[in-house]
Amino acid sequence: MGKKLGQHFLRNKEILQRIVNSAEIGPQDKVVEIGAGMGDLTELLIKTTKEVIAIELDPFLFKILEERFVQRENLKLVNQDALKFPFEEIGTFKVVANIPYYITKPIIFRLIEARNLISMTLTIQKEVAQRLVAKPGSKAYSTLSIIAQYYTIPEIKFYIPPKFFSPPPKVESAVIKMDRRNAPLVELEDERLFFKIVKASFGQRRKMISNSLKSIINQPKEFLLKIGIDPMKRAEEFKIEDFAYITNELCKFCK
């Protein structure tokens, strides 16, 4: 049931309270919980904030939630796939959740799409958390790092060893908070082209960037030299601002 859907239940009250504290939620906030499981985090959330929407896909676990939280006025239970939930229709909201690990990246991308999201505080795999906050020059730095940091300010709050979960996952976990930026990190002439360049660059991260961008730029080596970018560098050496510069310079030739 829960295990089938990739959930590892976190039931330690002290750690759950640390997650709630890290989320910085108050009495006026609307909070969405994804993968509510048996409701241990839910219990703390409904005591802390004005309104909680708890989403749980597993029908067996959903029934447990219904029985546990009878007549709680500030809780709405939703038996649905979180990836299909209409986040855009609920007003501004924060997410606090122990994410089922198999949907970690899809749900982060889905939440970033929802422009009414204020922040998300998630328990996820340590490796993914480190990729979200990674800086240029590190092995963890990737397309995911750039997407996350373009839209949000990600910060790892603390780590959780496997022993605190039931069943214990095979990896260490991390609690990460991602606050949506008031405006994206860099100004872009063409956001779609920017992400196309980033994905192409990291798609062949061991290659020089001039080779990685052959599918996007005609004579990339010459172009990069012309705008003052070293064509011999690899993707992991470039800051987000560098990718933005390449995009904006390329757009001058698109007009």
Model pLDDT, residue 4: 45
Encode 66-96: b = buried (16+ Cβ within 10 Å), e = exposed. Answer: eeebeeeeebebbeeebeebebeeeeebbbb
pLDDT for the residue numbered 6: 58
Q: ω before 27 within 30° of 0 (cis)? A: no
CATH topology for the 9-180 domain:
Rossmann fold (3.40.50)
* 10-residue mean pLDDT series, the chain (255 residues): 61 96 96 95 96 96 95 94 96 95 92 96 96 95 96 98 91 97 94 95 87 90 94 94 96 75
pLDDT at residue 3 in the model: 42
CATH superfamily, domain at 191-251: rRNA adenine dimethylase, C-terminal domain (1.10.8.100)
Tokens matching residue 83: 């990836």
Look at the pTM and tell me if it is higher than 0.85.
yes
Distance (Å, rounded) from C-alpha 189 to C-alpha 226?
Answer: 19
Domain boundaries along the sequence of the chain = 9-180, 191-251
Alpha helices in 5-142 (DSSP H): 13-23, 40-48, 59-68, 104-113, 126-133
